[in-house]
């Protein structure tokens, strides 16, 4: 029996994209395929710099006559402005839409489905997204974030705009990049990293005793730098780690022992999947 909980995600906001050219417009910008997006379907994607670094994560929700973009609330106006910069002569309308973003999830990790729910494309255990009028939440956003962290899935708090590559943030493992689609902004660097066959760094969860280390704290393998701590809470955090230095190593942060808790969906070798 599922025990679905609904959490309002105040950190997220919505942008509406419509008009005759909305598909081709987004197709040329985002890491995910939009041409085949169906109404009621959700896809995870990213907006990159021309050099291939991750600017913003977003979800694209298909509508009969356009799409909703689920983005970080703090960046919504900036994303609208950036998309508008690329619009040129495209017949597309872009603007904020005041809808509540919520997550429906089962703490046990069971998939969630139902009318009006957009299944999270990253992992079935993450549940689904909901867009619409405010519903009575059964959980706060912190509960959902704890659920995400328990699954080892990085989130917006783990990457800084224009710092990380999307593959480092596991977008390739979480259905965030379509390598078979046509060109998109930042595609050359992203495809080159994929073709090389070996990924040097990935965001992975680490476990430890006590409170989370400070964001940016060094992860050491002996005396060698093996990465840095990202967001987290008591006992568990995400970290950006050098894959060639963590296997079989005794890792520490601020003198405390830490251990990598590799999720089942992350391959055992540094090779890109």
Residues 132-145 have pLDDT tens digits of 986 677 789 999 99
User: Is 54 a residue whose pLDDT tops 60?
Assistant: yes
Average pLDDT over residues 214-241: 97
Q: Is 189 exposed, middle or buried (0-12, 13-18, 19+ CB in 10 A)?
A: middle
Q: Per residue in 34-43, pLDDT tens?
A: 999 999 999 9
Average pLDDT over residues 147-170: 94
What's the pLDDT score for residue 267? 87
User: Is 255 a residue whose pLDDT tops 70?
Assistant: yes
User: Is 273 a residue whose pLDDT tops 60?
Assistant: no
State the CB neighbour count (10 A cutoff) for residue 273: 10
DSSP 161-203: TTTS-TTTTTTTTTT---TTS---TTHHHHHHHHHH-B-SEEE
Average pLDDT over residues 45-66: 97
**Class (C level, CATH) for 200-260:** mainly beta
**Class (C level, CATH) for 5-158:** alpha beta
What's the pLDDT score for residue 10? 95
**From-to residues of CATH 2.40.30.110 in the chain:** 200-260
What's the pLDDT score for residue 176? 97
**Residue 125: half-sphere exposure toward Cβ, Cα within 13 Å:** 16
Report whether 208 contacts 235 (CB < 8 A): yes
The answer to which of 3-7, 19-23, 221-225 has the lowest mean pLDDT is: 3-7
């Amino acid at each position: 029996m599922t025990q679905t909980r609904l959490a309002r995600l105040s950190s997220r906001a919505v942008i509406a994209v419509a008009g005759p050219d909305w598909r081709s417009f987004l197709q040329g910008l985002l890491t995910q395929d939009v041409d085949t997006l169906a109404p009621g379907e959700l896809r995870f994607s990213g907006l990159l710099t021309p050099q291939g670094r991750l600017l913003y994560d977003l979800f694209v929700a298909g509508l009969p006559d356009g799409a909703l973009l689920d983005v970080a609330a703090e960046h919504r106006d900036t994303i609208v402005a950036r998309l508008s910069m690329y619009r040129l002569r495209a017949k597309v309308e872009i603007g904020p839409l005041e809808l509540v973003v919520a997550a429906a999830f089962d703490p046990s990790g069971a998939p969630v489905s139902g009318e009006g729910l957009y299944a999270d494309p990253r992992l079935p255990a993450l549940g689904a997204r909901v867009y619409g009028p405010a519903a009575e939440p059964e959980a706060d956003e912190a509960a959902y974030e704890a659920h995400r962290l328990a699954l080892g899935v990085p989130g917006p708090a783990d990457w800084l705009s224009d710092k990380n590559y999307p593959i480092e943030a596991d977008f390739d493992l979480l259905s965030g990049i379509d390598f078979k689609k046509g060109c998109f902004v930042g595609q050359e660097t992203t495809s080159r990293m994929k073709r090389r066959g070996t990924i040097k760094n990935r965001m992975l969860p680490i476990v430890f005793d006590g409170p989370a280390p400070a964001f940016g704290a060094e992860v050491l393998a002996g005396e060698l730098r093996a990465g840095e701590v990202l967001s987290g809470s008591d006992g568990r955090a995400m970290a950006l780690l050098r894959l060639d230095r963590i296997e079989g190593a005794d890792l520490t942060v601020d003198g405390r022992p830490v251990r990598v808790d590799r999720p089942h969906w992350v391959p055992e070798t540094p090779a890109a999947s």
